[in-house]
Every structure is written in C-alpha cells, then in structure tokens.
Amino acid sequence: MTDKYCVIGNPIAHSKSPEIHPVYAAQTGQDLVYERCLAPLDGFEATVQRLVAEGYRGANVTLPFKLEAARVCTRLEERARAAGAVNTLSFANGEIVGDNTDGPGLVADITRNAGVSIQGKRVLLLGAGGAARGALLPLIQQGPREIVIANRTVATAEGLAQDFGRYGIPITASGFADVEGSFDIVINATAGSIAGDVPPVAPGVFGPDALALDMMYGNQPTVFMEFAARHGAGVRDGLGMLVEQAAEAFAIWRGVRPDTSTVMKKMRP
C-alpha cells in the first residue's frame, strides 16, 4: 500500500517539497506519494486531524503553522522542544510526534555541501525569530567557539541567548550595529531579503575566508549574499538547507537517508 505524506501551509503552491520527496523515494525504493495541502489559517489542527483520519503517515509544516504545529503534537523531540516550532510531523500508534529538521538541514548544508566545519568557529546569527531559534541547537551541537545573536530588538536576542546558554557554548546578544569583531560563519536568519533589506551590520563582520549563508533562496543571489560577497565572503543561499532538511525528514519517516546531491543538481543545474 502506498504511504501518503504532504506539506501543510498557507499559501502552499510555491512549495518545492513535492519536487524533492518523490526523487528521494525513487532513489531509495520507497513506495509513497507526497502532496501539497492548503490549510485554512484558522484550521490547522483540524487539517492535521483529517490527515491522520485519512491514513497519512506524516507531514511537513511550513509558514505560518510551525508554532501551532508544536501545540498539536502529543510528543516533541528535543530539537522541536528547543526550537519551540515543528516542521516535521509523524503519525503512528495514535501519536502525533513533532520534530524540527530546519537546523539540521542548515548544519548539513554548511558542513557537507559547503565543506565548512563549524567546530571551533565564531558564528554570527542575524535575527532572533523562529528561524534563528530552530537553528541554534544543531549549531551548538557542532561545537562552535562562540555564537553571537544580533537582532534589531536586543531584548529578543538576549532572551534567545539565555534560553540556549544552558548547552555550554558561549552565546551573547547584540544589536545589529553593535556587533564586534569578525566571524568565520555569518547566517542571515531574518526574512529581510524578501523585501530587499540587509541587516545593518558592519562589513567587518566577515572575517577572512568567511562563509555567509542566507536562509532565503531564489533564482538570483539575495541582497544579503551580494553584500557579503562585496566584502570578501563566500556565499550560499537557503536552497541547500531546504534540500537537506527534507532529507532529514525523509530519514525520520522512512528510516533511510537519501543522497541529496541528486536533488541539488536537479533543482540548481
């Protein structure tokens, strides 16, 4: 019997997930279908319950439901608890289990695809919203020397630094304009690139041989990538993170990890 999965969001027509998972299924010999599911803005929980009743095995969750997804779960994995958000749901044995694969996808893209080690590095995380929160625990688990969270509202960054300080890595908060020193890895976790805005940090944040990654992606480099490249950084957008987080979700559901290079070549020849 073919297993059913989907991605839930509103809007949802733009999602690339239905292009990714069938490739992984063919590659690993898994019998499944993967669809888009448009949920009403006030009907996410009802949509999840309908999917469970219809025999779906799991679902990905995209905007604007990642926070609400955490609340409908009967159990949360540690990454989801830390993030306070869920992007991967598994339905089995009467449970709705929530996980967050965004951070692992980011880490995999940096370490595997870009070939950059995070261990011992100084990392600057721009933004303190849900995307930043989802990235922090997987980044911490790589053993960086220090993480600085910069945000327009410093108090929000300070709250995030306090929440994740218990994991043993030095984490400090700053305003964008007050960031001090240079960094090995700079991650833009704001949504500024959608509107053509670059976080107002000094060009000096990009250290020698720095990697700058924007979680946003598109057909052209983002404004953040252009800014970072002008100041000597190597740049990446969020497509690799998308492909890798999908592979992590696929492994959770199917117990086998697909090769992401095939999908990366397909989506960006």
pLDDT, tens digit (0-9, with 9 covering 90-100), for 15-40: 999 999 999 999 999 999 999 999 99
Distance CA 180, CA 174 (A): 9
Is 102 within any annotated ligand binding site?
yes
Distance CA 25, CA 44 (A): 27
Exposed e or buried b for every residue in 106-145, given b needs 16+ CB within 10 A?
bbbbbeebbebebeebbbbbbbbebbbbbbbbbbbebebe
- Of the CA atoms within 13 Å of residue 95, those in its CB half-sphere come to 10
User: Helix, strand or coil for residue 118?
Assistant: coil
Confidence band, pLDDT 50/70/90 cuts, at residue 1: confident
Distance CA 23, CA 25 (A): 5
237's CB contacts (< 8 A; 6+ apart) are: 213, 214, 216, 217, 218, 221, 222, 225
- 66 has catalytic annotation: yes
Is 15 within any annotated ligand binding site?
yes
> Can you read off the two tokens belonging to residue 55?
């025999």
Residue in 85, 58, 89 with CA at minimum distance from that of residue 189 = 85
Residue 269, pLDDT > 70, answer no
Per annotation, catalytic residue among 4, 66, 265, 266: 66
- Give the mean model confidence (pLDDT) for residues 194-208: 95
- Planar angle of CA 259, 264, 267, nearest 5 degrees: 135
Confidence band, pLDDT 50/70/90 cuts, at residue 159: very high
pLDDT (0 to 100) of residue 210: 98
Confidence band, pLDDT 50/70/90 cuts, at residue 130: confident
Is 127 within any annotated ligand binding site?
yes
Is 34 within any annotated ligand binding site?
no
Is 130 within any annotated ligand binding site?
yes
